Copies of this chain bind each other. A is one copy, B any other.
């Protein structure tokens, strides 16, 4: 297996000379019907409205083979040190609870890592059952009804987005659901807002920090303890209302301040940790361990699908390569994520972290500067809301923004109404379909202000309903897409050195920053 920059592949040079296809010319019913790939979890990916044809697909295949994308994925699964900057293995696929192939028994830190993640998974499932069935109760004898996760970044965005994504599913499926809240920002107003109406006697907190040293999270932990103390509840014991998710080597690992500690390790990056204990505890408490197991199964199915060497059968890899074409050949520096599902309201924020933190890099995996663009800007809001907001620019602005639609045939809760001959869910889907075609084909008009140029490309991921399986597959699809793009760009998608300088300078400011002219000047201004 060989690592080389994208620009070193002769097939990229060929690809760079190809023109995008004109969607007005090619988008017919055959193409639409014939451009669907299975994602896993009951989802499918359709690329009919992307500006590519058989020529591009052939070059994508040559590029994928030449860059050994699937081989690199296999090497990652087999425990190669793919996080070169931090010299770490990359093992989030192992947290799905299923083995992906024969070569995926991975040893590190003196243990078999698959077994380690499974052990944590089993402990979490038992713990969640005990809490949900009232066998484990709060320190004043009351059952827990609310769970609050304290964490930031990957310990917040993914779990929060997934919780919101499944809340309506649980309501529709009549599954008992514990309310979950999240405290993340070091802004003290964040925690105080979460405390509103909170009953500490029936609340279980989850403190999530891999290193055990994240400043925001530890500060919010102290705010929680202060608020618990201020509540002056007789017989209340804070340590029986708090569990930790951390690494075994963290200062929090063996503390008597926690009811339980569940473990992760250095091979699970924060933004890839939703299927590990970081997501497992809060989601298993909220919806039950069996729902979480179904979520993992969906993720596993997408992981399996991503092993397929043919680009036309591998949704994550094709999505990745189309993205490379849009970014590096057509020069489009952004991608919008547009879920037609209110339950996915915060999913774009999770993908924003996943993608931008993974692939927003300026050096290759060996630390050498590269001469081409890497990860794009990711943003998005649910449709139809976005239609009444930023879609104006998407339709008629001076830049073309590639779009990724997501949609489901059925709503989660099923509480619908028919008005003017159609249900709300039917209207939602009608809007999704209309937008794909409107962006792709546009419309001529004698007044240029009412003219839609079209050729605004999109893909769509769709399924029957946003279930735990579908959500797991959706999450893993994007994780694998980001991974394949990282391989194509020959960058390390698993470190985040870009967040360090800010931390160092913030520490300087807190220490007075006497020797730093600029910090001092801004301190005078702002504080």
A437 and B171 contact, Cβ closer than 8 Å, known pairs A385-B184, A395-B501: no
Whether B390 pairs with A333 at a CB distance below 8 angstroms is: no
A360 close to B (CB within 8 Å): yes
Whether B423 pairs with A188 at a CB distance below 8 angstroms is: yes
Produce 1/0 per residue, A411-422, CB < 8 A to B.
111011101111
Set of chain B residues within 8 Å of A503, measured between Cβ atoms? 434
Whether A29 pairs with B460 at a CB distance below 8 angstroms is: no
Q: Which of A512-527 contact B (CB under 8 A)?
A: 516-527
Q: Which of A470-524 contact B (CB under 8 A)?
A: 492, 495-506, 508-510, 516-524
Distance in angstroms from A229 CB to nearest chain B CB is: 11
Produce 1/0 per residue, A232-275, CB < 8 A to B.
00000000000000000000000000000000000000110000
A29 and B521 contact, Cβ closer than 8 Å, known pairs A333-B399, A450-B500: yes
Tell me which of A10-18, A119-127, A132-140, A441-449 binds B: A441-449
A433 and B188 contact, Cβ closer than 8 Å, known pairs A360-B397, A392-B499, A510-B426: no
Q: Which of A365-398 contact B (CB under 8 A)?
A: 367-369, 372-375, 377-379, 381-385, 387-398
Set of chain B residues within 8 Å of A156, measured between Cβ atoms? 385, 388
A428 and B186 contact, Cβ closer than 8 Å, known pairs A333-B334, A372-B398, A453-B362: yes
Set of chain B residues within 8 Å of A361, measured between Cβ atoms? 392, 396-398
Q: Which of A107-165 contact B (CB under 8 A)?
A: 152-154, 156-157
Of the candidates B219, B390, B417, the one whose C-beta lies within 8 Å of that of A357 is B390
Whether A357 pairs with B393 at a CB distance below 8 angstroms is: yes
A448 and B367 contact, Cβ closer than 8 Å, known pairs A188-B413, A343-B189, A522-B433: yes
Set of chain B residues within 8 Å of A505, measured between Cβ atoms? 433-435, 437-438
Whether B353 pairs with A443 at a CB distance below 8 angstroms is: no
A290 close to B (CB within 8 Å): no
Distance in angstroms from A39 CB to nearest chain B CB is: 14
A430 close to B (CB within 8 Å): yes
Q: How far is the CA of A152 from the CA of B386 in the complex (A)?
A: 9
Set of chain B residues within 8 Å of A357, measured between Cβ atoms? 389-393
Whether A427 pairs with B192 at a CB distance below 8 angstroms is: no
Dominant SS among interface residues on chain A: helix
Distance in angstroms from A315 CB to nearest chain B CB is: 15
Q: Which of A147-200 contact B (CB under 8 A)?
A: 152-154, 156-157, 167-168, 171, 184-193, 196
Produce 1/0 per residue, A296-314, CB < 8 A to B.
0000000000000000000
Whether B185 pairs with A433 at a CB distance below 8 angstroms is: no
Whether B382 pairs with A185 at a CB distance below 8 angstroms is: yes
Produce 1/0 per residue, A28-50, CB < 8 A to B.
11001100100000000010000
Whether B495 pairs with A449 at a CB distance below 8 angstroms is: yes
Distance in angstroms from A387 CB to nearest chain B CB is: 6
- Name which of A227, A340, A342 has the most chain B CB atoms within 10 A of its CB: A342
Set of chain B residues within 8 Å of A416, measured between Cβ atoms? 188, 223
Q: How far is the CA of A313 from the CA of B120 in the complex (A)?
A: 60
Q: How far is the CA of A472 from the CA of B382 in the complex (A)?
A: 27
Q: How far is the CA of A156 from the CA of B384 in the complex (A)?
A: 12
Q: How far is the CA of A462 from the CA of B525 in the complex (A)?
A: 9
A526 and B407 contact, Cβ closer than 8 Å, known pairs A450-B500, A505-B437: yes
A20 close to B (CB within 8 Å): no
A75 close to B (CB within 8 Å): no
Whether A527 pairs with B398 at a CB distance below 8 angstroms is: no
Whether A434 pairs with B508 at a CB distance below 8 angstroms is: yes
Of the candidates B85, B189, B435, B519, the one whose C-beta lies within 8 Å of that of A342 is B189
A429 close to B (CB within 8 Å): yes
Whose C-beta in chain B lies nearest to the C-beta of A368? B448
Whether B449 pairs with A367 at a CB distance below 8 angstroms is: yes
- Name which of A334, A450, A506, A527 has the most chain B CB atoms within 10 A of its CB: A506
Whether B398 pairs with A362 at a CB distance below 8 angstroms is: yes
Whose C-beta in chain B lies nearest to the C-beta of A354? B389
> Knowing that A189-B415, A271-B389, A430-B527 are A-B contacts, what are 9 other residue pairs whose CB atoms are under 8 Å apart, sorted by A's residue number?
A187-B341, A187-B342, A192-B413, A193-B413, A223-B416, A393-B498, A395-B501, A435-B502, A438-B501
A–B Cβ pairs within 8 angstroms, 30 of them: A28-B518, A28-B521, A33-B521, A152-B385, A157-B385, A157-B389, A185-B382, A187-B341, A187-B384, A188-B424, A216-B384, A216-B388, A218-B419, A226-B417, A333-B333, A349-B381, A349-B389, A356-B390, A356-B392, A360-B395, A361-B397, A375-B393, A379-B379, A395-B499, A395-B501, A429-B526, A430-B510, A434-B509, A435-B506, A442-B501
